[in-house]
Copies of this chain bind each other. A is one copy, B any other.
């Protein structure tokens, strides 16, 4: 965890604070609600690095006119089951749900639909959007490029982002299968957390700015993170960057503005949303039964020593989300204070007070 103690906050309160903040910043009610849902859903599932923590930076960029709502999102070109949309610098979550919905509509019409979105910004967890497809009985595959923070295999310096890939598959008796993987060994956020508390990181996660393997988290942040499985993660990150960049007409990873450091222009991230309707060519009852049965067999495998039952991607996160929806979401006091400061800066004094009062709970 980032710093200091954690507070357990009811999910409705986190959503309300986030939604109100973005509403005050000028987002439509609908957009503010979507952004809050995407971010706080990440907290529910335990992906706190992609959740409430991002509110201040998203807010700062909206305030500076570098990001906004989905009003200026538009279809640039469209052909059959493929659509190129421009996000009009809308905040990632606000535009990504619309892109996914468009891809799902294409999948209903053609069996498969692909939306390439350019002009977008950081969109939180890719798995959210893939899962949105799965919640409608469809298969979703979502990818995004990102500013360069990773050295490709065999290189000493940054060139690609930790470009994520998410694949979600609908299940009938189980929560959806949701694979959501960054192409780095570990999320860069974990290295940031180690740097903040002054802890070393294991060898193999990153190199310093001279290209030397390092266990120093601060040196790692100044250098490059490394791809998972060497050439495999590196190649996958490159492929995602190439596809998002050209299909979405977005910047490539090495051309992208940093969300945290570049305030002279909007980000121009590319994101791909591929949706397949399996039931366009297969029997749904049989297919769902087979998937559920496979998941049952997976769960019945002998677990590795000292481990619990074998789980599928998304299973742990879904269980955690139910728990936290009931019992509250752990949020670090540092995140709450950062939220309060950001709100105070924009004159949202009631939100600032609410954020601070949660820390005192």
Alpha-carbon distance A238/B168, docked complex (angstroms): 11
Q: Which residues of B contact A245 (CB under 8 A)?
A: 290, 294
Interface residues on A, range: 35 or more
The distance from the CB of A220 to the nearest CB of chain B, in whole angstroms, is: 16
Please state if B305 and A211 are interface contacts (CB–CB under 8 Å).
yes
Q: Interface code A106-143, partner B: CB below 8 Å = 1, 0 otherwise?
A: 00011111101000000000000000000000010000
Please state if A185 and B229 are interface contacts (CB–CB under 8 Å).
yes
Nearest-CB residue, chain B, relative to A180: B235
Chain A residues 59-88 with CB under 8 Å of chain B are 76-84
**Is A57 in the interface zone, CB < 8 Å from B?**
no
Nearest-CB residue, chain B, relative to A233: B229
* Interface residue from B159, B169, B228 paired with A232 (Cβ < 8 Å): B228
Please state if B83 and A301 are interface contacts (CB–CB under 8 Å).
no
User: If the complex has contacts A114-B111, A294-B252, A313-B231, are A303 and B155 also in contact, measured as CB distance less than 8 A?
Assistant: yes
Please state if B76 and A281 are interface contacts (CB–CB under 8 Å).
yes
Q: Which residues of B contact A156 (CB under 8 A)?
A: 301-305
Alpha-carbon distance A114/B231, docked complex (angstroms): 27
Please state if A246 and B278 are interface contacts (CB–CB under 8 Å).
yes
Q: Which residues of B contact A82 (CB under 8 A)?
A: 110-112, 276-277, 280-281
* Interface residue from B109, B229, B243, B281 paired with A77 (Cβ < 8 Å): B281
The distance from the CB of A193 to the nearest CB of chain B, in whole angstroms, is: 19
**Is A35 in the interface zone, CB < 8 Å from B?**
no
* Interface residue from B84, B179, B278, B313 paired with A281 (Cβ < 8 Å): B84
Q: Which residues of B contact A307 (CB under 8 A)?
A: 154
User: If the complex has contacts A185-B229, A236-B179, A303-B155, are A84 and B282 also in contact, measured as CB distance less than 8 A?
Assistant: yes
Please state if A177 and B242 are interface contacts (CB–CB under 8 Å).
yes
* Interface residue from B113, B167, B246, B287 paired with A282 (Cβ < 8 Å): B246
Alpha-carbon distance A232/B114, docked complex (angstroms): 24
Q: Which residues of B contact A232 (CB under 8 A)?
A: 181, 228-229, 233
The distance from the CB of A296 to the nearest CB of chain B, in whole angstroms, is: 11
Q: Which residues of B contact A155 (CB under 8 A)?
A: 298, 301-304, 310
Q: Which residues of B contact A78 (CB under 8 A)?
A: 281
Please state if A303 and B154 are interface contacts (CB–CB under 8 Å).
yes
Q: Which residues of B contact A185 (CB under 8 A)?
A: 229
Alpha-carbon distance A274/B114, docked complex (angstroms): 11
Q: Interface code A15-57, partner B: CB below 8 Å = 1, 0 otherwise?
A: 0000000000000000000000000000000000000000000
List the 5 shortest-distance A-B pairs measured between CB atoms, nearest first: A82-B111, A80-B110, A228-B229, A79-B280, A84-B281
A-B contact pairs, 10 of them (CB 8 A): A79-B111, A80-B112, A81-B110, A81-B111, A82-B111, A82-B280, A154-B307, A154-B310, A156-B305, A252-B290
List 11 other contacts, CB 8 Å, given A77-B282, A79-B111, A81-B112.
Answer: A80-B110, A82-B277, A112-B274, A153-B310, A154-B311, A167-B239, A228-B229, A241-B294, A246-B282, A246-B291, A249-B282
